[in-house]
Amino acid sequence: MLLVGSLALVSYLRVCKAMILNTGIFDYRIFLFPAFLPALLSIPAWPSFGGDGYWCFQNRESAFIPLSLLYADILILMTSLFCYIGIVHAINVSRFRNDQENFCTANKKIIGYLFTYILQWTPVMIYIITDIERQANMWVFAICITSLPIGGILKTYQYISNEGWWSVDSIDERRHITN
């Protein structure tokens, strides 16, 4: 979830603000924020961990973990929407100077990725809200658990269909270097 928001923000900075973050061999720094924020959030939530009816990550006495997840999900969704709407607007403005085909392709990709994100994480938000209200039923839990891997599968399918299995340019470069 945090990685999606981070990539949306990096894409926004690159396309709309013309800020190119060339990290070189330090690409791992992009993943530090999504890796350390959950660890930091789990420190104050430590007393809230325990068994539950469906989950084994939190007990019912505390609403800290569900509220943290809900707020993080809403914040990341709004950030992603803002960033991708800005990217679509920037592409739309440059569409009049360039060809129509690139605009349609980029627009389809962005809308597809946003739809997949919403499809993947909205059931989780619904489950968290019903869990806080102590009304979580098994069918809500089942939809929540099903949506997470389906979202990953859909993202993988989208990436492969949009970008391919490998970069053709990198294969051509390797052939040129080895010859």
Please name the residues in contact with 151: beta carbons below 8 A apart, sequence gap of 6 or more.
116, 117, 119, 120, 121
The mean-pLDDT minimum among 44-58, 77-91, 131-145 falls in 44-58
Two structure tokens written together for 108: 């389809």
pLDDT tens by residue, 29-61 = 767 777 787 777 777 767 666 655 545 555 566
The residue with greater pLDDT, 38 or 139, is 139
pLDDT tens by residue, 140-152 = 888 988 998 898 8
